[in-house]
Amino acid sequence: MTVNNKEFERYIGRNQISDRLNELAGQIDMDYAGKSLVMLAVLNGAFIFAGDLIRLLEVDAEVSFVKLKSYRGTASTGEVQTLIGLMHELKDREVLIVEDIIDTGRTMSKLLEMVWEQSPASVKVCTLLVKPDVFKNKYQLDYVGFSIPDKFVVGYGLDYDELGRQLPDIYKIKD
Ligand code: HPA
Ligand code: MG
């Protein structure tokens, strides 16, 4: 499989993704039983994960989106720019942030700050993928689909220079 002239190999298949999403949805339904939540999905990468996950939930779920851009390479300062900010009233709400992948965790850290400023009742994080080698447990991730090595992945919403998001499976770059 080639995306933007780089070679990728299939890594997590669509059935494995689907099975894991059913498990995550079951946990979320139990944890939020009797409550309603606001799913805050992070664009662009999380759009497919959030769309699939919300259709598996039985608890009442509203949906809202944010779009953040993190500048890598600028080392320690790690600036995060808000392209689409919080549009949803989050005061006293149960907020479930939905992300495609967490590697350094810098973007999520900034988003958590932004959300907590709105005085929500609770904030939890649900990420399809995490790279523990780089994330190093900087804060709690409440729901994790898969922990993966620090290898570049595409598909199921994740891109390589904006391409590859449409792939139904997740692919890992070939060494
Ligand atoms: N793939 C796509 N986008 C990403 C990745 C990745 O491995 N890590 C952080 N953003
Ligand atoms: Mg993302």
Cα 24 to Cα 166: distance, rounded to the nearest angstrom:
22
Q: Per-block average pLDDT, block size 10, for the chain (175 residues)?
A: 96 98 98 98 97 98 94 63 92 98 94 97 98 91 98 97 97 95
> What is the four-CA torsion angle of 136, 46, 28, 132, rounded to 10 degrees?
-10
Domains of the chain: 14-151 (3.40.50.2020)
Mutate to test the pocket of ligand 1, among 71, 152, 162 (most ligand atoms within 8 A of CB): 152
User: Are 40 and 53 spatial neighbours (Cβ–Cβ below 8 Å)?
Assistant: no
Active site includes 19? no
If you take atom 7 of ligand 1, which residue's CA is the nearest one? Answer: 152
Cα 44 to Cα 37: distance, rounded to the nearest angstrom:
21
> What is the four-CA torsion angle of 99, 163, 7, 49, rounded to 10 degrees?
30
b/e per residue, 119-128, with b = 16+ CB within 10 A? ebeebbbbbb
**Overall pTM surpassing 0.85 (yes/no):** yes
- Ligand 2 center–CA 83 separation, angstroms: 13
User: Are 103 and 153 spatial neighbours (Cβ–Cβ below 8 Å)?
Assistant: no
pLDDT of residue 74: 45
Cα 142 to Cα 78: distance, rounded to the nearest angstrom:
24
